Amino acid sequence: MRMKFNKSSQLLLVSVASLLVAGFMTACITLTVDFVFVASAKAAGPNNYGEIDVFEINSESGRMRQIPASPFPSAGRDPVAEAVSTDHGSLFVANQDDNNIVQFVIGNDGKLYPFNTVNTPGVYPLGLAATASNLFVVDTYQPLPTCSTAAPCSGSIAVYPLTAGGSASSAPCAATVCIGAPATNSAISANYWPLTLAGKSSSDVIVPTAVNVLASGAYVYVTAYDSSVTPSVGYVFGFAVGSGGVLSPLSGSPFAAGIQPSAIASDSTSKYVYVTDFSRGDVLGYSVASGALTPLGGSPFPAGNQPSAVVVDQTYAYVYVANSQDSTITAYSASNGALTRLGTYTTGLEPVAMGIDPSTSHFLYTANFLGNDISGFELSSTAGTLLDAQFSPYPSNDQPTAVAAIPHNGVGGGVQP
């Protein structure tokens, strides 16, 4: 029997259908809490570029799923570092073999659109950090004619001022954030600051490993070690950030930092800094006063073997360290900066980068270099413990090296401690 509908019934059905579609779309938007960008270093495609995998995180299960258009070419060879602009509109990717930084505009759906490319002042970039005003890049070597992989020299840090862009004719670029010319170091008439020691050690080769800028934007730090001595000696080089990104070395810098510092992170209050020591297998904690670093009581704090990444929860008082040799994460609670170990959790093979979702601080993920995948965890905001996310680990392109993330449409519904 064929059913008959009058005009009123048809309108009602259309309205109900529209509401169902709207509700479904709202649910989809709500359930995607973040987009995570994972750089993979192994060359792929006709240009031998690296890849950027883009994952969306489900706010209820923590499941990470690549968006339909993923992966995207990194627009350079061997991408090793990432940073996002504070307005979440741009992703910056450092391609080590091409000595450049590629700026991608991030679409509302997480898709990446290459927008601008700048060459780094030094050679072989390895780390990026960003504030609203500046983009910091650390290079393995200074751009000296006497310097090469066969005859290495010390590394350097450079700063690119960031300005607001837009569609207005007076805007410096069409993106929401524009990269300016690198700041000038007037002391050497160059656009970088060397990472070198003074006195009799001035010719030693200083190898940088990571960079971190405080949430306040006032100070930036670079971890490095002296490779000219055995065993090596670790340092944190500290700089005050002035107008236009001009750097001034801090009094007392560089600060002692174990044997071979490998990663650095700071808390949301800009009061504490944490540095992993790759050789000793621990975490060094510092308090910050006018930029100067003072070791915390009880520091260093034990970690696993060959810690390679550290992240500080920006909402809750927890710190996490990825141990590359053990393929684990060590979790800590933090009280006045001091760390108390909470537990150890298994990741994929050789985690080298780590992040926490910026929307809710409820999910944590690691890039596993040898596992060619991403491990995802649900983070308890009340206990700091980790639970494997649904279907973790998630396949990535080969040799993932870096992670960065942006929030998507607010805090995401359904998230519980």
Among the residue ranges 79-83, 104-108, 413-417, the one predicted with the least confidence is: 413-417
- The residue-averaged pLDDT of 196-201 equals 95
- The residue-averaged pLDDT of 393-397 equals 97
The predicted pLDDT at position 102 comes to 98
The predicted pLDDT at position 189 comes to 97
Which percentage of the chain shows pLDDT scores above 90? 85
Kindly tell me the burial class for residue 9, based on how many C-beta atoms sit within 10 Å of its own C-beta (0-12, 13-18, 19 or more).
Answer: exposed
The predicted pLDDT at position 12 comes to 36
The predicted pLDDT at position 46 comes to 74
d(C-alpha 345, C-alpha 325), whole Å: 13
- Cβ neighbours of residue 10 under 8 Å, at least 6 residues apart? none
- The residue-averaged pLDDT of 257-261 equals 98
For the stretch 132-177, pLDDT in tens is: 999 999 999 999 988 888 899 999 999 999 999 998 888 999 999 9
The predicted pLDDT at position 43 comes to 83
- State which amino acid sits at residue 417: P
**Enclosing H/E stretch for 177:** strand 177-179
Q: Is the pLDDT of residue 397 over 70?
A: yes
Determine how many CB atoms are found less than 10 A away from the CB of residue 44.
16
For the stretch 28-63, pLDDT in tens is: 445 889 999 999 999 877 788 999 999 999 999 999
- The residue-averaged pLDDT of 184-189 equals 97
- Cβ neighbours of residue 206 under 8 Å, at least 6 residues apart? 154, 155, 195, 196, 197, 224, 225, 226, 227, 235
DSSP state letters, 390-402: TT-SEE-SSSEEE
Using CA atoms of 96, 352, 138, 297 in order, give the dihedral in degrees to the nearest 10.
Answer: -170
d(C-alpha 185, C-alpha 193), whole Å: 6
Among the residue ranges 27-31, 343-347, 398-402, the one predicted with the least confidence is: 27-31
The predicted pLDDT at position 148 comes to 82
**DSSP annotation of 128:** E
The predicted pLDDT at position 4 comes to 44
Domain ranges, ordered by start, for the chain = 39-407
Cα–Cα–Cα angle for 69, 82, 393, nearest 5°?
60
The predicted pLDDT at position 23 comes to 39
- The residue-averaged pLDDT of 120-130 equals 97
Q: What is the pTM assigned to this prediction? A: 0.91
The architecture that CATH gives domain 39-407 is 7 Propeller (2.130)
The predicted pLDDT at position 408 comes to 86
Q: Is the pLDDT of residue 11 over 50?
A: no
Which percentage of the chain shows pLDDT scores above 70? 91
The overall average pLDDT reported for the chain is 91
Q: Is the pLDDT of residue 27 over 80?
A: no
Confidence of residue 20 (pLDDT cuts 50, 70, 90): very low
- The residue-averaged pLDDT of 278-307 equals 98
**Enclosing H/E stretch for 257:** none
d(C-alpha 5, C-alpha 18), whole Å: 18
Task: Name which residue leads in pLDDT, 399 or 413.
Answer: 399
Among the residue ranges 3-17, 162-176, 216-230, 339-353, the one predicted with the least confidence is: 3-17
The predicted pLDDT at position 409 comes to 66
Confidence of residue 207 (pLDDT cuts 50, 70, 90): very high
Nearest to 245 by CA among 166, 143, 130: 130
The predicted pLDDT at position 340 comes to 98
Task: Name which residue leads in pLDDT, 321 or 3.
Answer: 321
